[in-house]
Chains A and B, each alone.
Chain A
């Protein structure tokens, strides 16, 4: 035991706790089981340890010790690879895949959460060492508040308006509102689609959003989330029953065609509104220099 024992223990505990609150299981269902969670808690514990010992190392003038943080960086980049590989492998067995853009977003979140743990531990240990445990607790509360507030990005509800739209056939062409979705030849399939299908139209609220919702990865994310939350009427061997999103080239609206098992339009609109806006899909043409001149 020395003067650093308690601050380090405090920092490690808070860091691990921070990782724990960032590890929620929701409709994305990952990680759900204890084994998957243990992996992330263990890595969070390691990250917390690294963050905590950094401050005493500086206080003892062991500046070279800080270089081990670079090892941490490469370690956690590995976490991102691990998540990406697992999710991509599983994606081919999903009835409605997540898509690579969504997976990349999840993988990035997993990596960055470990860095957030490092910062949390670093700040709390520092507060403990410089001031005392009470101020360290205040710093903890601030850190956790910041984590919770900025952990999630915006959702589709912020950038588009969602309305239910009619699903109809013009000959063999399937339409949602006036947006062409696909060609369905067989009358039996057409009947199934009229029976089970639902259509929604997403209207962008501004010009930037047009390119964001046009992104194929973002569209796949919408389909995946709706299918997870409301079920999907689909099976291998029925390729005609496929949820799809197409774009109206005139005004940038997108037509969402889904086959939910729970045909509740209000719920579906709620689900679509809460689909995360994928970081990799965000485009901001209004920020370009050409627009401002």
Chain B
């Protein structure tokens, strides 16, 4: 089976919102979260999507 989409990383400011799965990056505030997400987007060649204000995921399309 070929996976067309996959969550490559999860970035959050609220550690309670996520458990295991893709790599999780826990940040102190929204600003740091956005920086990390922007970097990861470029590194992983995926798009960062906002699920809520405190939860971003990087998805490979």
A185 in contact with B50 (CB, 8 Å): yes
B38 in contact with A188 (CB, 8 Å): yes
- Whether A240 is near chain B, meaning CB under 8 Å from some CB there, is yes
- Whether A237 is near chain B, meaning CB under 8 Å from some CB there, is yes
Measured between beta carbons, the chain B residues less than 8 angstroms from A240 are 41, 47-48
Name the one of A171, A188, A236, A239 contacting B50, with C-beta atoms under 8 angstroms: A171
Contact with B along A153-181 (1 / 0, CB 8 A): 00000000000000000011000000000
A239 in contact with B49 (CB, 8 Å): no
Closest-by-CB residue of A relative to B42 is A237
B27-43 contacts to A, CB under 8 A, are 34, 37-38, 41-42
B46 in contact with A188 (CB, 8 Å): no
B34 in contact with A183 (CB, 8 Å): no
- Whether B61 is near chain A, meaning CB under 8 Å from some CB there, is yes
- Whether A186 is near chain B, meaning CB under 8 Å from some CB there, is yes
B34 in contact with A239 (CB, 8 Å): no
Total residue contacts A-B, CB cutoff 8 A: 43
Name the one of A171, A186, A237 contacting B48, with C-beta atoms under 8 angstroms: A186
B34 in contact with A187 (CB, 8 Å): yes
Measured between beta carbons, the chain B residues less than 8 angstroms from A186 are 34, 37-38, 41, 48, 50, 56
A172 in contact with B41 (CB, 8 Å): no
A76-90 contacts to B, CB under 8 A, are none
B47 in contact with A184 (CB, 8 Å): yes
Taking each of A184, A185, A236, A238, which has the highest tally of chain B beta carbons within 10 Å of its own beta carbon? A185
Name the one of B37, B45, B61 contacting A185, with C-beta atoms under 8 angstroms: B37
Closest-by-CB residue of A relative to B37 is A186
A188/B47 contact (C-beta < 8 A), A239-B41, A239-B61, A240-B41 known: no
Smallest CB–CB gap between B20 and chain A, Å?
21
Smallest CB–CB gap between B35 and chain A, Å?
9
- Whether A24 is near chain B, meaning CB under 8 Å from some CB there, is no
What separation, in Å, do the CA atoms of A242 and B61 have in the docked complex?
Answer: 11
Measured between beta carbons, the chain B residues less than 8 angstroms from A238 are 42
What separation, in Å, do the CA atoms of A133 and B34 have in the docked complex?
Answer: 77
- Whether A189 is near chain B, meaning CB under 8 Å from some CB there, is yes
Report which B residues bind A (CB closer than 8 A).
34, 37-38, 41-42, 45-50, 56-57, 61
A-B contact pairs, 25 of them (CB 8 A): A171-B50, A172-B49, A182-B47, A184-B47, A184-B48, A185-B47, A185-B50, A186-B38, A186-B41, A186-B48, A186-B50, A186-B56, A189-B38, A189-B41, A189-B48, A236-B45, A237-B42, A237-B45, A238-B42, A239-B41, A239-B45, A239-B47, A239-B61, A240-B47, A240-B48
Closest A-B pairs by Cβ, 6 of them: A185-B50, A172-B50, A185-B48, A183-B49, A240-B47, A185-B49
